[in-house]
């Protein structure tokens, strides 16, 4: 009996989902720009992003796309990352593609003589970048921007292990989030900093946004040392979307990858 109920519930959910998709499609048709919403599955998935909107052409034409399988090409004396996080979070939002935590003004990251401001961080399950062929179950991206729109990302990998206490605090909000509706999120600067490993050795390379419009000239910094997240934390994030929200690795095309 219970099994039947479950099956019916799934069937009804599937029906509702189909109806919603059809309703959205109709809306799209009448929308002036004819922009289809991008996603991670099927005909709006990564392989089709550039077909969905002319603005997304870099997703297929770009030669320095992200993510990549990081295999270092040059051993250099990289300077320590000059991170000054002083601000806490403002809001948290499930934007339909990831869960994003927006950051208050005042957190800076200096790289190559330019100051970038921390804007937000978000998560991918499983990881987008690989390291020497290895994928990780979770990756966090800290997105920084200059006032004129230059971008720098710092990425943190997570292995499956002990539960992460800061993620616990964030994850508590997940079930309450309605897609597209930002709610308050009270993370301190110290808690945000705790989402980066103590050993701050990193890989450095040029890449792109890993989501449409896949814009390039993004400075990437990926910490070598992963943090831990519990299996439950990883599964909870996955279940929120029900699909992996990672773009597959892209060709490096002979890119310089420093370590
Ligand atoms: Zn990302």
The torsion angles phi and psi of 224, rounded to 5 degrees, stand at: -70, -35
Q: Give the pLDDT mean for 211-236.
A: 98
Please state, in angstroms and rounded to a whole number, the distance separating the CA atoms of residues 243 and 225.
26
- Work out the pLDDT band at 4, boundaries 50, 70, 90: very low
Beta strands in 20-78 (DSSP E): 69-70
Mapping DSSP to helix (H, G, I), strand (E, B) and coil, where does residue 93 land? Answer: strand
CA 237–ligand 1 middle distance (angstroms): 14
CB distance 192 to 88 below 8 Å: yes
Name the average pLDDT for the chain.
Answer: 89
Please name every residue paired with 219 in a beta bridge, in sequence order, or none if there are none: 152, 206
Residue 49 neighbours by CB under 8 Å, 6+ apart: 38, 56, 59, 60, 212, 214
Of 161, 140, 135, 124, give the one whose Cα is nearest residue 221: 140
CA 143–ligand 1 middle distance (angstroms): 8
Using the predicted structure, report yes or no on whether residue 3 has a pLDDT greater than 60. Answer: no
- Give pLDDT tens digits for 202-219: 999 999 999 999 999 999
What are the structural domain ranges in the chain? 1-33, 60-241
Lowest mean pLDDT among 24-33, 49-58, 163-172: 24-33
Of 141, 126, 134, give the one whose Cα is nearest residue 238: 126
Q: Is 84 a catalytic residue?
A: no
Using the predicted structure, report yes or no on whether residue 27 has a pLDDT greater than 50. Answer: no
CA 250–ligand 1 middle distance (angstroms): 14
Candidates 3.30.565.10, 3.40.1380.10, 3.10.200.10, 1.10.1200.10; CATH matching 60-241 = 3.10.200.10
């Amino acid at each position: 009996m219970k099994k039947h109920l479950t099956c019916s519930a799934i069937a009804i959910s599937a029906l509702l989902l189909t109806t919603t998709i059809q309703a959205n499609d109709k809306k799209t048709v009448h929308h002036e720009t004819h922009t289809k919403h991008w996603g991670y599955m099927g005909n709006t998935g990564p392989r089709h992003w550039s077909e969905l909107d002319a603005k997304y052409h870099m997703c297929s034409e770009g030669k320095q796309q992200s993510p990549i399988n990081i295999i270092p090409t040059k051993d250099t004396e990289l300077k320590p990352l000059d991170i000054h996080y002083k601000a806490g979070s403002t809001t948290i939002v499930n934007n339909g593609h990831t869960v994003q935590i927006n950051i208050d003004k005042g957190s800076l990251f200096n790289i190559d003589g330019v100051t970038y401001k921390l804007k937000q961080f978000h998560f991918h399950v499983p990881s987008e970048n690989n390291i020497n062929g290895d994928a990780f179950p979770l990756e966090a991206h800290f997105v920084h921007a200059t006032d004129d729109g230059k971008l720098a990302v710092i990425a943190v990998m997570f292995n499956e292990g002990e539960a992460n206490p800061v993620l616990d605090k964030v994850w508590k909000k997940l079930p309450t989030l309605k897609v597209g509706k930002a709610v308050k999120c009270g993370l301190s600067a110290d808690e945000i900093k705790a989402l980066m490993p103590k050993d701050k050795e990193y890989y450095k390379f040029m890449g792109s946004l890993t989501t449409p419009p896949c814009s390039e000239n993004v400075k990437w910094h990926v910490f070598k040392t992963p943090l831990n997240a519990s299996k439950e934390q990883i599964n909870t994030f996955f279940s929120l979307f029900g699909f992996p929200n990672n773009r597959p690795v892209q060709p490096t095309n002979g890119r310089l990858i420093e370590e």
